[in-house]
Amino acid sequence: MTMRPETPVDWMNAVAASDGQRTAIVTAGAEYTYRELAELVSDRSDELAGSVDPGDVVPVPVALDVASIINILAVTDAGGVVLPYVGNPPPVGDRAPDGDAYIIPTSGSTGEPRLVRITGANIHHSVVASRARLGTSANDRWLLCLPLNHVAGLSIVWRSLHAGGSVAVAPFSDGIGEFVHTARPTVASLVPTMVVRMIDRNIEALAGLRFVLVGGGALASSVRDAASAGGVVAVPTYGMTEATSQVATAKVGVPSEPRALDGVEISILDSDGRDVPDGAVGRIAIEGPSVSPGYLGEPSRTGRLLTSDVGRLDATGVLEVMGRVDDIVVSGGENVSLDHIAAVASTIDGVHDAVALGVEDTEWGTAVVVVATTNLGEQALVAAAREVLPPHQRPRRWVTVAQLPLLSNGKVDRVAVRTIAGID
């Protein structure tokens, strides 16, 4: 008989039993010990008794607060499968396949989200591998400002409970710097847009952390340099919901070398699905015990998970993520990466952030349009682009905005950006 893997509730209860006065959660107005958290979860689980059977998919409305963490853990304690959501609950069946612990929506940054099945074993392997790479311990307090309806936010709770550490919970806002100073987290997880805004307004708050895990997109070299100059230890990571968060992460202090986490195997494939030589560019495929078995309502996955990302591995196993498959377009007969163009555009003095889009064009095949947060005029932007981009990569049009639209997880809402740019 296969033993079920330990759950985050088991980890919480173990700390509550051995060191119940240890802090589990800090908010702007309160602190909760492990014993208090375990009691609140148990009480809520008792309330669910009789209405939740093992394997039931239980939609849980979430916000970035303690009540949501309690409800999520209580559903697990009651034997249910957690489906965290914001807004309207996705339509799902009553039950999930055996072994599933969570059903997590993807970010939906380029379209409709899919419902990813995450098993208890996926969570256990992901947490153990992440902690081994980052060296987190019971002494760490993780800043939680990413949403709990996505794996990035949930994984912070899981890792902290496994370590016996704590989480500092606060929405990302202009006041986040002050909260960091008072709550004293040691670690944070941020997406690049958040890093840019923190550098502009609260870099001293980030500089006080042991490290900042940066995922959800590439961090422009100018931003990395500004972070480093300000004393911020940025650790790049590449991950996805389908891998229960992290796939490849650098070690603290070695930001240029993101490698596969223990147990994860990364392959680079050509268009025919064959492995390519070291250093060659192709589709990223992954497999390992943290990789999801598939999507709710679809056949279970077999073999490697072929991602929508393009990258390359060097001979030592360092991964370079170069963009998404649909990020590579042909403009003027040349293959160009929209993410690369956006990253370079973000280095232009006076440009805070940028997104590059591809638009059908009779002359270029695909014309590149950049939407940027800047006060610069189009002529200045065109002149600056000539200095940093070759001719075939230069934007054919610029759209300036006060702020890029974001999803709840802090990633850029590309669908909304296309609307702003008058595309589609």
What domains lie within the chain, and their CATH numbers?
8-323 (3.40.50.12780), 332-420 (3.30.300.30)
Adjacency order of strands within the sheet including 57-61? 57-61, 81-85, 100-105, 115-119, 294-295
Strands (E), 62-220: 81-85, 100-105, 115-119, 141-144, 166-169, 187-190, 211-214
Question: pLDDT of the chain along its 424 residues, tens only?
Answer: 456 789 999 999 999 999 999 999 999 999 999 999 999 999 999 999 989 999 999 999 999 999 999 999 999 999 999 999 998 888 887 789 999 999 998 865 545 678 999 999 999 999 999 999 999 999 999 999 999 999 999 999 999 999 999 999 999 988 999 999 999 999 999 988 788 888 888 899 999 999 999 998 777 777 788 888 999 999 999 999 999 999 999 999 888 889 999 999 999 999 899 999 999 989 999 999 999 999 998 999 989 999 989 899 999 999 998 878 877 787 877 778 888 888 888 889 899 888 998 888 777 778 899 999 999 999 999 999 999 888 878 999 999 998 888 877 777 888 888 888 887 6
CA–CA dist 354, 420 (Å, integer): 13
Distances (CA, A) of 123 to 5, 286, 342: 9, 16, 33
Both tokens of residue 301? 């996955």
Residues 6+ apart with CB under 8 A from 86: 61, 62, 63, 147, 149, 408
DSSP, collapsed to helix, strand or coil, labels residue 283 as strand
Give the N- to C-terminal CA distance of the chain in Å, as an integer: 54
Strands (E), 80-223: 81-85, 100-105, 115-119, 141-144, 166-169, 187-190, 211-214
194 and 153 in contact (C-beta within 8 Å)?
no
φ, ψ of residue 188 to 5 degrees: the values are -140, 150
The predicted structure's pLDDT at residue 108:
57
The predicted structure's pLDDT at residue 1:
43
Instruction: Specify burial of residue 29 (Cβ count, 10 A radius: 0-12, 13-18, 19+).
Output: exposed
245 and 126 in contact (C-beta within 8 Å)?
yes
φ, ψ of residue 3 to 5 degrees: the values are -75, 140
The predicted structure's pLDDT at residue 94:
75
Query: What ranges in 164-191 are assigned the alpha helix state H?
Result: 176-183
CA–CA dist 187, 209 (Å, integer): 6
Distances (CA, A) of 354 to 245, 347, 371: 25, 9, 6
**Strand (E) or helix (H) holding 36:** helix 34-48
Both tokens of residue 410? 């802090």
